[in-house]
Amino acid sequence: VLSLLTSEERKTCRDGSLDRYVGGVGGELVSDCRKCCTEDSDDSISKVTYSGAILEVCMRKLVFYPEIVGFIEEEKDRFPSVKVQYIFNSPPKLILLDDADEHKETIRIDNWKREHILQFLQGKYT
């Protein structure tokens, strides 16, 4: 989730007001959440890119994810190396691939809006 925040929002996150983004839960959730914070630098993990991706989702559950349906129907063609796989009972997720089409990372996108998917793919996809 924090990878979707702007640079300014991540600074706020690091300065102690993270509770605002995680609902004031605090404690273990906050420390776990902070593991994802990265500095904005050229050698940062936030600059890692992938050569392709698989958007995996259950066709029967698509009715519950209109933002993902919108992405598949209207935006997916902008990313020719992003393939859609319909797997029974699979929650929506992006499986990110390296140059050898090997699975490198999986990210759940259940609650993502279409613009979040676009922003993520534009930033992580070569």
Provide DSSP, 22-71.
Answer: HTT--HHHHHHHHTT----STTSGGG--BSEEEEEE-GGGGGG-HHHHHI
Please report the pLDDT score of residue 46 as a whole number: 55
**Least confidently predicted of 16-25, 66-75, 84-93:** 16-25
Strands 103-108 and 93-97: antiparallel
Confidence of residue 86 (pLDDT cuts 50, 70, 90): very high
Express each pLDDT in 8-55 by its tens digit: 555 555 555 566 665 555 566 666 665 555 544 455 555 678 889 999
Structural tokens at position 119: 């922003």
Query: What residue spans define the domains of the chain?
Result: 2-41, 48-124
Contacts of 4 (CB under 8 A, 6+ apart): 112, 116, 119, 120
Please report the pLDDT score of residue 41 as a whole number: 45
Given a cut of 80, is residue 72 above it in pLDDT?
A: yes
Structural tokens at position 57: 């989702």
More confident residue, 85 or 48: 85
Architecture per CATH, domain 48-124, reads as: 3-Layer(aba) Sandwich (3.40)
Please report the pLDDT score of residue 35 as a whole number: 58
